[in-house]
Amino acid sequence: NKRKITIYDKEQILNECIKSDFIDCRINAYPVLDNNNFQGYSNIQAPNLIFIDLDLDKNLSYQEAKRKLEKLKSKSIKIIKEKLDGCQPTILWTGNGYHIYIVIDTRPLELIKELSELSKKSSEEFLRYAELTFSNKKKDSGHNPSFKSSLLRIPYTFNSKNLLTYNENDREKAEVKIVQKFDKDNVKPINIKLLREFRLWLTDKDLKDKQKRLKNLRFRKDLSMS
């Protein structure tokens, strides 16, 4: 049974994992918000963990898909290092692909006027922009990160999709494994160049949204006149 509960400490995390037999254990990267959570602003938070989801290509054989995935991972790591000044993220193998978790040092982006003018949810938009950019637009097409849906898999637990593949004796093959740990002593900030690129992306997205709304209005007007 899939259920969501609020977690307060590491001991509770372990207890809940035990209750679920260590299957499909995930934890949200972001906390539950209170009504006044940042410098007098309510319902905003910093996008300080980026989640990238890279999946095996189901249209290829396992060996071909794995080779393709390794190239995607290598390319993503290269982009991350370039964009975030040598950042070393956490990488998990999930059995179906890689999860990349990037810890960054930032404040809520709604506090930056140039960004808040373009989007009332600029911090959440940054989660999506960063995953697209850092994955070279090769991320899982069904993954659309938000503060409520950034569910991180817990290492040494099991992905139920993988358990269907292996029998009980091969259960360890379905285990979520750590490939690389992030460098906790070298957390990188969002630099000016990356913020500028994000602002351009928001500007382009805002323009496309306005053009789409205008097109829909014209279409409804034409229908009413016909």
Q: Quick count: other Cβ atoms within 10 Å of Cβ 85?
A: 13
Per-residue pLDDT, 5: 85
Tens of pLDDT, residues 53-76: 999 998 999 899 999 999 999 999
Report pTM. Answer: 0.86
Identity of the residue numbered 135 = S
Question: What does each C-alpha distance from 192 to 106, 110, 189, 195, 198 come to in angstroms?
Answer: 12, 16, 9, 5, 10
Per-residue pLDDT, 170: 57
Task: Collect the ranges in the chain with pLDDT lower than 70.
Answer: 1-2, 34-42, 163-173, 219, 222-223, 225-226
At residue 81, φ and ψ (nearest 5 deg) are: -65, -40
Per-residue pLDDT, 73: 97
Per-residue pLDDT, 163: 67
Per-residue pLDDT, 18: 93
